[in-house]
Structure 1
Amino acid sequence: MKQFLPIIFLIIFLGILSSANIYLARRFSFYFDLTSTRYLYVAFGSLTVFMIAGIISTTNAQGTFANWIYILASIVMGFLLYLLISVAIVDLISLFVKSVPRLLGISALSLAVLITAGGIINAQYRRISEVEIPIKGLKNELVAAHLSDIHIGHFWGPKTLQKIVDKTNAQNPDVVFITGDLFDGRIRLNSKSLEPLKQLKAPVYFVEGNHDGYSGAEEVKQNLREIGVTVLENEVTHFNQIQIIGLNHMRADDGDPGMHGTGKKPSMRSVLDQLNIFPEQPTVLLHHSPDGIEYANQHGVDLYLAGHTHNGQLFPFNFVVGMVYKYNKGLHAYKGTRIYTSQGVGTFGPPMRVGTKSEIVLLKLKPVES
Structure 2
Amino acid sequence: MKFVPYVIMIALLALLVLSVVYLSKKAILVFGIDQIWLAYVGISLLVVFFLVGSVALVNSTGVVGHTLYKIATIAMGVYLFLILSFLVVDTISLVIDIAPRTFGIIGMGMTLIVSIFGYWNSTNIRLTELNIPIKGLEKEIKAVHLTDTHIGHFRVNGFLQKIIDKTNAQNPDVIFLTGDYLDSKYALNKTHFEPLKQLNAPMYFVDGNHDKATDNDSIIALMRSVGVTVLENEVTHFNGLQIAGLNHMLADRNSFDMHASGDNPTVDETLQKLNIDKEKPTVLLHHAPNGIKHANQYGIDLYLAGHTHAGQIFPFTIFSNLIFEYNRGLHDYMGTKVLVSEGIGTMGPPFRIGTKSEVVSLTLSPNT
| Common fold: TM-score over 0.5 | yes
What residue ranges of structure 1 are gaps of 5+ in the alignment?
Answer: none
What residue ranges of structure 2 are gaps of 5+ in the alignment?
Answer: none
Matched, 1:116 2:115: yes
Q: Distance in 2 between matches of 1:298 and 1:14?
A: 38
Please tell me the residue identity of whatever aligns with 1:20: S
Q: Distance in 1 between matches of 2:84 and 2:37?
A: 22
The aligned residue for residue 15 of structure 2 is: 16
Change (3 A) 1:331 1:97: same
The aligned residue for residue 80 of structure 2 is: 81
The aligned residue for residue 243 of structure 1 is: 242
Q: Distance in 1 between matches of 2:26 and 2:244?
A: 54
8 Å CA contact 2:8, 2:319 repeated in 1: no
1:117-159 Cα shifts (integer Å, max 9, x gaps): 1100110000000001001111221110000000011111122
Aligned-pair CA distance for 1:113: 1.4
Q: Distance in 1 between matches of 2:5 and 2:245?
A: 31
Q: Distance in 2 between matches of 1:261 and 1:238?
A: 27
The aligned residue for residue 223 of structure 2 is: 224
Which 10-residue stretch deviates more, 178-187 or 98-107? 98-107
1:61-109 Cα shifts (integer Å, max 9, x gaps): 1101100001000000000001111111111110011122210111111
Q: Distance in 1 between matches of 2:308 and 2:10?
A: 24
Change (3 A) 1:47 1:143: same
8 Å CA contact 1:205, 1:231 repeated in 2: yes
The aligned residue for residue 43 of structure 1 is: 42
Matched, 1:180 2:176: no
Q: Distance in 2 between matches of 1:219 and 1:348?
A: 21
**For residues 125-136 of structure 1, what are the structure 2 equivalents within 5 Å?**
125-136=124-135
The aligned residue for residue 147 of structure 1 is: 146
SS of residue in 2 equivalent to 1:332: strand
Aligned-pair CA distance for 1:15: 3.4
The aligned residue for residue 137 of structure 1 is: 136
8 Å CA contact 1:158, 1:195 repeated in 2: no
The aligned residue for residue 290 of structure 1 is: 289
SS of residue in 1 equivalent to 2:185: coil
Change (3 A) 1:4 1:292: closer
Aligned-pair CA distance for 1:250: 0.2
**For residues 273-352 of structure 1, what are the structure 2 equivalents within 5 Å?**
273-352=272-351
Which 10-residue stretch deviates more, 224-233 or 37-46? 37-46
Q: Distance in 1 between matches of 2:309 and 2:10?
A: 26
Q: Distance in 1 between matches of 2:37 and 2:254?
A: 48
Which 10-residue stretch deviates more, 339-348 or 105-114? 105-114
Q: Distance in 2 between matches of 1:9 and 1:361?
A: 30
SS of residue in 2 equivalent to 1:364: strand
Change (3 A) 1:30 1:328: same
8 Å CA contact 1:158, 1:194 repeated in 2: no
Please tell me the residue identity of whatever aligns with 2:67: W
1:327-353 Cα shifts (integer Å, max 9, x gaps): 100100000100100000100000110
Q: Distance in 2 between matches of 1:94 and 1:334?
A: 47
Please tell me the residue identity of whatever aligns with 2:198: Q
8 Å CA contact 1:144, 1:173 repeated in 2: yes
Q: Distance in 2 between matches of 1:31 and 1:328?
A: 39
Q: Distance in 2 between matches of 1:169 and 1:54?
A: 37
Change (3 A) 1:93 1:340: same
Change (3 A) 1:7 1:242: closer
Aligned-pair CA distance for 1:37: 2.1
Please tell me the residue identity of whatever aligns with 2:323: V
SS of residue in 2 equivalent to 1:363: strand
**Alpha carbon RMSD of aligned pairs, Å?**
1.8
SS of residue in 2 equivalent to 1:187: helix
Q: Distance in 2 between matches of 1:78 and 1:87?
A: 14
Q: Distance in 1 between matches of 2:335 and 2:154?
A: 39
Q: Distance in 2 between matches of 1:364 and 1:311?
A: 23
Aligned-pair CA distance for 1:255: 2.2
Matched, 1:104 2:103: yes
SS of residue in 2 equivalent to 1:83: helix
Aligned-pair CA distance for 1:304: 0.3
Please tell me the residue identity of whatever aligns with 1:63: G
Aligned-pair CA distance for 1:263: 2.2
Count residues in correspondence. 368
Please tell me the residue identity of whatever aligns with 2:224: R
Please tell me the residue identity of whatever aligns with 1:98: D
Q: Distance in 2 between matches of 1:158 and 1:132?
A: 30
The aligned residue for residue 163 of structure 2 is: 164
Q: Distance in 1 between matches of 2:19 and 2:181?
A: 33
8 Å CA contact 2:248, 2:260 repeated in 1: no
Which 10-residue stretch deviates more, 224-233 or 43-52? 43-52
Please tell me the residue identity of whatever aligns with 2:60: A
Please tell me the residue identity of whatever aligns with 2:151: I
Please tell me the residue identity of whatever aligns with 2:359: I
The aligned residue for residue 66 of structure 1 is: 65
Please tell me the residue identity of whatever aligns with 1:274: K
Please tell me the residue identity of whatever aligns with 1:275: L
Q: Distance in 1 between matches of 2:276 and 2:180?
A: 26
Q: Distance in 1 between matches of 2:216 and 2:189?
A: 12
Please tell me the residue identity of whatever aligns with 1:206: F
